């Protein structure tokens, strides 16, 4: 499979994951929050805000997946976002609250970071190889 196709598929999966998480955060209820180890809050604003943020990010990932060359800066942005999310979640897990959902989120963001970075590096290398053959 072409390296560009693999990168595009990975970004589509990242977009779908972010979109689903966003929808989940918008509709999450207090009982589920408590089950996941958080203190329930009657004000739903922050869950919805976080959900909308994830949905907005899914559009960035989708744009990059749709046209790798045109939206290449969004690929780099995606790598940075996943790295920052990993650092934040691991820091929060270590120093603030040790719950499975925070650790699993950190691990998933770390995996997305590594996979996007690896496939992006292959994409860049293939572009350089094409340019050197010309």
Both structure tokens of 83:
């790295």
Q: What is the chain's length?
A: 134
| Residue 132: how many other CB atoms lie within 10 Å | 7
**Whole-structure pTM value:** 0.90
Between CA 53 and CA 81 the distance in angstroms is 12
87-131 residue pLDDT tens: 999 999 999 999 999 999 999 999 999 999 999 999 998 877 766
Both structure tokens of 5:
């196709």
Q: Name which residue leads in pLDDT, 37 or 22.
A: 22
The per-residue pLDDT of the chain, averaged, comes to: 92
User: 112: which residues sit within 8 A by CB, 6+ positions away?
Assistant: 14, 17, 82
3-class DSSP state of 69? coil
């Amino acid at each position: 499979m072409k390296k560009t196709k693999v990168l595009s598929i990975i970004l589509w999966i990242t977009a779908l994951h972010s979109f689903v998480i966003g929808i989940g955060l918008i509709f999450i209820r207090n009982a589920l929050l408590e089950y996941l180890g958080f203190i329930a809050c009657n004000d739903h604003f922050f869950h919805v805000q976080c959900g909308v943020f994830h949905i907005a990010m899914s559009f960035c990932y989708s744009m990059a997946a749709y046209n790798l060359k045109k939206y290449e800066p969004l690929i780099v942005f995606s790598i940075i976002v996943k790295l920052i999310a990993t650092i934040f979640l691991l820091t929060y897990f270590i120093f603030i609250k040790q719950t499975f959902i925070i650790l699993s989120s950190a691990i998933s963001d770390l995996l997305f970071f590594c996979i996007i970075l690896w496939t992006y590096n292959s994409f860049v290398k293939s572009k350089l190889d094409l340019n050197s053959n010309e």
